[in-house]
Amino acid sequence: MSLDLLRRYWSIGAMALWLAAFGAEAVRLARWTTDFWRVAGRLETAAAALRQNARDVVELANRNKSQSLEVEFLNALPNVLPQERGYLRTQRVIGEETEVLRRKVGGRLKGALHILVDSKANKLYLKKGMKLLWQADCSVGRGGTLVSAATGRRWEFVTPRGEFRVVWKDANPVWTKPDWAFVEQKQPVPPPDDPGRKVPGELGAYVLSLGDGYLIHGTKDEKSLGRPVSHGCVRLGAADLQKVFETVPIGTKVYIY
């Protein structure tokens, strides 16, 4: 074999080896690129989750701040309202502190007609700004829970605290008996449209809705007023309920503390 032919074979062999090495390196680079983008994708997903968590934390912080301000406002109410000499909590507050709180609450209420419900004393107050118009004994939620043995559903009989509005009101209301009423009486729960759910006269002559099923309504047992005996609604005697219904327009704020 001639020297030129050997050189040609050697060159071809070297080229083949170089191409094989290059191909192997290219395959490894392609795998590395695929792994890189896969990791980058996971990092981007994790980063998106972190950004969402950060937004959730900010939103939660803002909500907590808002609720803290609302609680601070509601906690101030028992110390300054209503204005009457026999109200012990007012008497325990130093005069200067009382005036500061009155100005703060008065600036918040701005002379508007509103309802206050003291859930500890079971008292309802109707006020215009800082002026007490009248007061009445009421009944709020008794507390406790009811559990359905058949379905496991739970109901908590408490009156919620916070700021509400009168969203609608009506005369001669008909009570639509909820599921818990049948469970409490150990009766089968009928379909939602069952006529047996309609109970006239149970809510008294008038009703004012605070939303989410919570009402201000009457009671057949006025002797229980002043005690927490309701299932979450605010109960009033017939005369006081009529006065609230005739005085308070839709949209009136209701503060329950």
Structure tokens at 251: 């949209």
Residue 225, C-beta contacts closer than 8 angstroms, at least 6 positions apart: 122, 137, 138, 139, 219, 235, 236, 237
User: Are 188 and 182 in contact, with CB atoms under 8 Å apart?
Assistant: yes
The vertex-73 CA angle with 237 and 129, nearest 5°, equals 60
| Catalytic member of 114, 138, 217, 231 | 217
User: Are 224 and 188 in contact, with CB atoms under 8 Å apart?
Assistant: no
CA separation, residue 35 to residues 23, 29, 38, 45, 47 (Å):
18, 10, 5, 15, 18
Rounded Cα distance, 57 and 254, in Å: 30
| Catalytic member of 114, 138, 231, 233 | 233
For residue 59, report the phi and psi dihedrals to the nearest 5 degrees: -65, -45
User: Are 106 and 128 in contact, with CB atoms under 8 Å apart?
Assistant: no
* 233 in active site: yes
Residue type at 234 in one-letter notation: V
Residue 145, CB-side half-sphere exposure with 13 Å CA sphere: 8
* 217 in active site: yes
Supply the residues annotated as catalytic: 217, 233
